[in-house]
């Protein structure tokens, strides 16, 4: 796919995401969250095991292992390289979400609305890490999937299907509003695609090479 065609497709996705998230936020989020409210406190162990921090820690361990393997062996197999880039993209997306996006929008999570009487509304520049928009889980998984799409375009459909299943699970478990997962998936995929873009990869390789040469000169 050409760069122009890819940008047009992304732009259509952006428009669809804004429309879908807006419609969901206005008419869908609250009724759906109340319908699944009985699930909110039934999956405490699952919530702890698959929390954003737990997943981020796992990805950090994977990245560390692959980097160590790269140092020892001098190179990585294509699949290992793809996983390394995808995990790094995923970690970056999660950090950006916690540090910027959630603070920017300040939209409470379903549990805050249901059990803490927090209004389902936008509080610009007043958010915190406990808020739900965008979904951190979808940012993590979306960025991972987006990066893999660069390396393996043929499995794009399967990756999108898995992301869709993840969205349904997050809404069913009442961890997130519908608008949370819609926005999180799109933003995550976008970050993954950008980080794994060929030009970005070439720039990273060039910077790594220059850093290595500079270190050898200083040694």
Q: Is residue 28 over pLDDT 60?
A: yes
Position 129 in a domain? yes
Position 216 in a domain? no
Who's near 119: CB < 8 A, 6+ residues apart?
Answer: 108, 113
Q: How confident is the model at residue 214 (pLDDT cuts 50, 70, 90)?
A: very low
Who's near 46: CB < 8 A, 6+ residues apart?
Answer: 173
Position 139 in a domain? yes
Q: Is 121 left (phi over 0), alpha (psi -120 to 50) or beta?
A: beta
Position 219 in a domain? no
> Mean of the pLDDT values across residues 148-166?
95
Note down the domain range covering 185. Answer: 3-208
Q: Is residue 92 over pLDDT 90?
A: yes
On the question of a cis peptide bond just before residue 19, with omega within 30 degrees of 0, the verdict is no
Position 151 in a domain? yes
How do residues 114-129 score in pLDDT, each as one tens digit? 988 899 999 999 999 8
Nearest to 185 by CA among 171, 204, 200: 171
Q: How confident is the model at residue 70 (pLDDT cuts 50, 70, 90)?
A: confident
Check if the beta carbon of residue 159 is closer than 8 Å to that of residue 145: yes
Structure tokens given for 62: 């994977």
Instruction: Provide the domain count of the chain.
Output: 1
Nearest to 100 by CA among 187, 197, 28: 187
Position 123 in a domain? yes
Q: How confident is the model at residue 210 (pLDDT cuts 50, 70, 90)?
A: low
Position 214 in a domain? no
* pTM: predicted TM-score of the whole model, two decimal places: 0.89
> Mean of the pLDDT values across residues 163-184?
95
């Amino acid at each position: 796919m050409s760069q122009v065609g890819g940008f047009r497709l992304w732009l259509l996705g952006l428009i669809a995401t804004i429309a879908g998230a807006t419609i969901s936020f206005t008419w869908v989020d609250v009724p759906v969250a109340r319908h699944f409210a009985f699930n909110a406190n039934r999956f405490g162990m699952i919530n702890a095991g698959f929390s954003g921090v737990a997943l981020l820690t796992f990805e950090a361990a994977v990245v560390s292992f692959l980097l160590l393997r790269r140092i020892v062996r001098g190179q990585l197999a294509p699949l290992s390289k793809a996983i390394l880039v995808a995990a790094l993209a995923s970690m970056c997306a999660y950090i950006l979400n916690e540090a910027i996006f959630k603070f920017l929008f300040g939209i409470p999570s379903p549990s805050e609305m249901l059990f803490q009487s927090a209004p389902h509304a936008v509080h610009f520049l007043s958010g915190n890490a406990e808020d739900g928009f965008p979904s951190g889980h979808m940012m993590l998984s979306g960025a991972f999937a987006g990066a893999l799409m660069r390396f393996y375009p043929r499995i794009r459909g399967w990756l999108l299907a898995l992301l869709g299943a993840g969205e349904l699970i997050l809404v069913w478990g009442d961890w997130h509003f519908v608008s949370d997962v819609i926005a999180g998936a799109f933003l995550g995929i976008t970050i993954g695609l950008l980080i794994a873009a060929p030009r970005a990869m070439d720039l990273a390789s060039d910077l790594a090479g220059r850093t290595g040469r500079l270190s050898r000169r200083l040694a």
